[in-house]
Amino acid sequence: MTDQEYMLRAIQLAKKGEGWTNPNPMVGAVIVKDGRIIGEGYHKKCGELHAERNAIASLTESAEGATIYVTLEPCCHYGKTPPCTEAIIEQKIKKVVIGSRDPNPKVAGKGAQILRESGITVVQDFMREECDRLNPVFFHYITTKTPYVVMKYAMTLDGKIATKTGASKWITGEPARQEVQHMRHRYMGIMAGIGTVLADDPMLNVRVEGWKSPVRIVCDSSLRIPIDSQIVRSAKEYRTIVAYAGREENEEITEKIERLHAKGVDTVCCPDEKGQIDLKKLMTYLGNEGIDSILLEGGGTLNDSALRAGIVKEVHCFIAPKLFGGKNSKTPVQGIGIGLPSEALKLKCTDICRIGEDIRIICQVCEK
């Protein structure tokens, strides 16, 4: 096998941690000696052993003189686990091939430096782009402490997210909806607006065995969420945060908050100067709560606010090959819109594929 193949194997292993490692990165490692893989591992769950230590634990023979291929620079700090650099040095591994650089200020080049100072050969940036693709969420969160927001919506080929009556079940087919369940597992939070809650009374959970459900975040400026909505009723089972923009002195609001708290719902007040929810402040709050990523399943109004607030990093658009028509039927991004095509928010398309009968387009939002 070639160096590339060993690193591809490490990437493949890293992906097994998808959804479980947050807010930590997905990392994979392969240990090779005399052209044979003698150990491999990946980071399985936040708080548990890192990929390098799992690979070492799986060794079938001494790793003295071996090479380790690891998708992320090994750590050199005492966190929830001791430094991986120490384990690599102890094992007398002689070469470390690294994919991504670790922007964590506690590591950031120091891991590679410590290894070099111990006489180990270090190769950096090997298949870096492929390895970086594993962890856009981690890179964003560790440097900004705010969640990485992915806006997702499903629309018809004529750009509608509902019919003229507001009905939207279903636009895409079963395979695309299964993919959305997987996205909910992958990201730590899911965010919707009160409009969606009132219209659909959704659960916003994951209904697949072996996948986890996200923390549910509802943007509800004036706390209209019904106490008997499915979300509120299941708040003791799935963590739920309702963001609002009202003033807490208001008696009606205070009483509603108390009732929500009694049901297990957390509330956070994040008003902007117009009395609406300040999404940037909300992201700072959620980041401090340890939420590294959010799947935004908003309607047109919340999507527009999120884009205007500049919090969206990626857009996943599912397109169903059908037409709804209707000049008042809802579209994915509403608000007041822009005047000129040149004022458009620019995206970069990174993937297009077919999922069942539907099409999925993934785009990154370009930095302004």
Active-site amino acid positions: 52
Site string for ligand AOF, 111-150 (x = CB under 6 A): -------------------------------x--------
Neighbours of 4 (CB within 10 A): 12
Position 75 contacts ligand AOF (CB under 6 A):
yes
CA distance 128 to 102: 11
**Residue 313 beta carbon to ligand AOF: minimum distance, rounded to whole angstroms:** 19
Closest distance to Zn ion from the beta carbon of 74 (Å) = 6
104 scored as a contact of ligand AOF (CB under 6 A): yes
Q: Which of 6, 9, 22, 24 binds ligand AOF (CB under 6 A)?
A: 24
Chosen from ligand AOF, Zn ion, none, partner binding at 334 (C-beta under 5 to 8 Å by type): none
Closest to Zn ion by CB, 7 or 282: 7
Question: Does 296 sit near ligand AOF (CB under 6 A)?
Answer: no
Question: Rule CB under 6 A: is residue 25 a binding residue for ligand AOF?
Answer: yes
With CB under 5 to 8 Å by kind, the binding choice for 180 among Zn ion, ligand AOF, none is none
Least distance (Å) from ligand AOF to the CB of residue 44?
Answer: 9
Q: Which H/E stretch holds residue 345?
A: none
50 makes contact with ligand AOF (CB under 6 A): yes
Residue 146, Cβ density class (10 Å: 0-12 exposed, 13-18 middle, ≥19 buried)? buried
User: Residue 165: helix, strand or coil by DSSP?
Assistant: coil
Stretches 72-80, 165-173, 278-286, 307-315: which one binds Zn ion (CB under 5 A)?
A: 72-80
Tokens of 357: 């009968």
Return the residue matching tokens 């992320």: 72
CB nearer Zn ion, residue 111 or residue 189: 111
Which one of ligand AOF, Zn ion, none interacts with residue 107, CB within 5 to 8 A by kind?
ligand AOF
**Listed ranges 70-78, 206-214, 285-293, 343-351: which one lies at the site for Zn ion (CB under 5 A):** 70-78
Contacts of 229 (CB under 8 A, 6+ apart): 197, 201
Amino acid in position 80 = K
Extract long-range pairs of 225-232: CB within 8 Å, 24+ residues apart.
Answer: 225/194, 225/197, 225/260, 226/197, 226/198, 227/259, 227/260, 227/263, 229/197, 229/201, 230/201, 230/202, 230/203, 231/197, 231/201, 231/202, 231/203, 231/204, 232/260, 232/263, 232/265
- Least distance (Å) from ligand AOF to the CB of residue 43? 3
110 binds ligand AOF (CB under 6 A): no
Of 153, 104, 112, 113, give the one whose Cα is nearest residue 295.
Answer: 153
Per CB under 6 A, the list member of 7, 10, 27, 115 interacting with ligand AOF is: 27
Residue 80 site contact among ligand AOF, Zn ion, none (CB < 5 to 8 Å, cut-off depends on kind): ligand AOF
Rounded to whole angstroms, the Cα distance separating 298 from 293 reads 15
| Binding-site member from 7, 11, 49, 75 for Zn ion (CB under 5 A) | 75
Binding partner selected for residue 79 from ligand AOF, Zn ion, none, CB under the kind-specific 5 to 8 Å limit: ligand AOF
Distance CA 42, CA 30 (A): 9
| 37 belongs to the binding site for Zn ion (CB under 5 A) | no
Q: Which amino acid is at 148?
A: Y
Where do contacts with Zn ion occur on this chain (CB under 5 A)? 50, 75, 84
